[in-house]
Amino acid sequence: MTKKTILQILAVTVALAAKAQSSVLPPQADDTFWHDSIPTEMRQSYIQYGETYQGKSWTSLPWTSFAENKINGNRVNYENLCFDKRRQLAALVMAEIMEGQGRFLPDIINGMGSFCEETWWGIPAHYNKRIPLREQQEVDLFNAETASLIAWTRYMLQTHFDKFSPDLCRRIDREIEQRILKPALTRNYWWKTAGMNWNPWICSNWLTCILISETDERRKTEAIAQIRQATQAFIDAYPDDGGCDEGPGYWDRAAASMFEVLRLLPDFSGDEAKIRRMAQYAYKTYIGHDYCVNFADAHENRSVQQVNIVYPMGLWLNDRTMTQFGAWLGLQKNILQRPAALYDKSGNFPTLGRELFFLRHIRSFMAEEPREPLLSDVWLPNLQIMTARRGNLFLAMKGGTNGESHNHNDVGSFIVYADNEPLLIDPGVGEYTAKTFGRDRYDIWTMQSQYHNLPIINGTCQHDGKQYAAKVLSHREGQLTLDIAPAYPPEAAVASWQRTLSIHRHAVTVTETYKLTECRQPPQLILMTPLRPSVAKGNIKLGSHGISYDGRQLEATVDDISQMLDPVLQKIWGKEMYRIILTVKSTKTNTTIKYTVK
């Protein structure tokens, strides 16, 4: 390729980037759009939210809190302070945009100064201990997200900042340059080729900073080219079924963040059908009553999907099911009267960019018909996840491997909801600590198969690793059969364990057909529930529902594990959780067991 050709390509890319910036960024704060197009009740909600922070001092983040992650594994204390500070800024900025009278500007300007003086915008869990903190320019998730929040603030309020001092925007741009623009461009970070959330989560925020704060056209061109390449790598690495192995909660920062990249690069060309399937995962894993399927590291199983990303993504894809889902979420959360209450929970701290883009479509959103996406049957063959809905029952079952991103040892596990409320559950994950992503991850009880709806075979649980996987034997709508024996290590002495789940209008039936090479102790079948079980021979009552089994084959006992729930798990499930143990009475090595959830 000649030098002339390279220069021509660069010129075209620069022109495209300039076009993208002018056409896709929302109007700035002094534009009449924010007063004329946003309903009065919505504007007032944002203003009232900002008023709760007006006059509040800006926190100086303690070094001792930062150090806790290394000293005792606690990452939450620092994160709470860090995220609250960013929530404060986002609240003030939205209030100023909606009111437009300058009342919140002094606090925002002081906030800009405080953020510029922070040593690092990341969090201790992602801190590279080999680099001194004062020299830390690593790009992690929250370095990038903080940079994006500050960049959006700078863009929206640029006129006001310039009136205060022309140096303010220059200082902001310089900080963004040093903290994200330069290191992201020049370093060969692992996440640039990753098929998980770090890639699009960082790239979407990096791209925002480029379009707003990058002044060097050569660097801008090169950075956008890298983001295109990284985004394509993410799409290529994603399974063809569009499933997110990190779960619906992380979809919000995986495929949803990918959409934010594509929204800012309207000329991006990719596999549209696959991108559409990646979006549809958001409602394919929806249960009802705001619940979502929560396999893997799910901090929440309710209010997982956010209006400010679901609706615009559905609109962008012309997916009516998704736009109606977004409208239903908005109706349930009363977004037209209290949008700030939802904005406050739109991320670890409010996602300013997402909210601004969503509000551009507020009139079409208000005209959309709200509807829950209550799909009857879903099959994701790559992830080996089945969901099925019959009558008042909902079933989800997974195969897959024990080497997936944010994995738990849960191959073959399932959940059952009745009347759109949890009956048999996956506990999810508790409070993140240093141990959660360390070498001792599978010492945590929520990661272990013995605390999922799975068998314990010869006293042995499943093992972590990609090689510990399920084999799909058959699938049809409402029924899935897996051989889960390969998910267990050799000491389980299991030749095959065929697990079939089938759903009918009034029951979910579980059939376990297994062959052991030896039976040192009878298998145990574990069932997890947040409801207090009442056990009688052949029947376990769970509220108005129950589990029936053959008392000649199985003996039922119950462990109360409520004391094991940390605050995060209590927030999800309440203060009670129980482990039902169905112990096989026979020591035969070749047996079929059947039980039914009604």
Strand partners, 590: 515
pLDDT of 134 strictly over 80: no
Q: Give the pLDDT band of residue 20 (cuts 50, 70, 90).
A: very low
Structure tokens at 424: 């048999």
Written as one letter, the residue type at 24 is V
Query: What is residue 355's predicted lDDT score, i.e. its pLDDT?
Result: 97
Strand partners, 510: 501, 595
408-453 pLDDT, tens digit each:
999 999 999 999 999 999 999 998 888 888 889 999 999 999 999 9
Q: Among 195, 93, 108, which Cα is nearest to 152's?
A: 93
380-399 pLDDT, tens digit each:
999 999 999 999 999 999 99
pLDDT of 129 strictly over 70: no
Q: What size, in residues, is the chain? A: 598
Q: Among 318, 334, 327, 388, which Cα is nearest to 358's?
A: 327
The span from the CA of 329 to the CA of 310, in Å, is 9
Mean pLDDT computed over every residue of the chain: 93
Q: Give the pLDDT band of residue 52 (cuts 50, 70, 90).
A: very high
DSSP-derived secondary structure letter, 27: P
Cα 77-81-86 angle, rounded to 5 deg: 145
Kindly list the distances between the CA atom of residue 439 and the CA atoms of 198, 442, 464, 497, 501, in Å, as whole numbers in the listed order. Answer: 20, 8, 11, 29, 33
| Widest distance between CA atoms in the chain | 83
Query: What is residue 224's predicted lDDT score, i.e. its pLDDT?
Result: 98
What value does the mean pLDDT take over residues 168-184? 96
Lowest mean pLDDT among 109-118, 247-256, 519-528: 247-256
Query: What is residue 11's predicted lDDT score, i.e. its pLDDT?
Result: 41
Place of tokens 């198969």: 449
Q: Give the pLDDT band of residue 5 (cuts 50, 70, 90).
A: very low
What value does the mean pLDDT take over residues 571-579? 95
The span from the CA of 450 to the CA of 528, in Å, is 10
Determine whether 348 is exposed, middle or buried from the number of CB atoms within 10 Å of its CB (0-12, 13-18, 19+): middle
Phi, psi angles (nearest 5°) of residue 241: -75, -5
pLDDT of 22 strictly over 90: no
286-332 pLDDT, tens digit each:
999 999 999 988 776 777 899 999 999 999 999 999 999 999 999 99
Between the two ends of the chain, the Cα-to-Cα distance in Å is 68
Query: What is residue 136's predicted lDDT score, i.e. its pLDDT?
Result: 55
199-246 pLDDT, tens digit each:
999 999 999 999 999 999 999 999 999 999 999 999 999 999 999 988
329-376 pLDDT, tens digit each:
999 999 999 999 999 989 899 999 999 999 999 999 999 999 999 999
Query: What is residue 312's predicted lDDT score, i.e. its pLDDT?
Result: 97
As a whole-number percent, the residues of the chain with pLDDT over 70 amount to 95
How far is residue 391 CA from its own chain's centroid? 29
Phi, psi angles (nearest 5°) of residue 388: -150, 145
The span from the CA of 423 to the CA of 426, in Å, is 10
pLDDT of 483 strictly over 90: yes
Structure tokens at 512: 């376990």
Query: What is residue 12's predicted lDDT score, i.e. its pLDDT?
Result: 41
Query: What is residue 302's predicted lDDT score, i.e. its pLDDT?
Result: 75
Kindly list the distances between the CA atom of residue 481 and the CA atoms of 433, 438, 449, 471, 588, in Å, as whole numbers in the listed order. Answer: 36, 33, 19, 9, 22
Phi, psi angles (nearest 5°) of residue 555: -120, 130
Query: What is residue 8's predicted lDDT score, i.e. its pLDDT?
Result: 42
Q: Give the pLDDT band of residue 9 (cuts 50, 70, 90).
A: very low
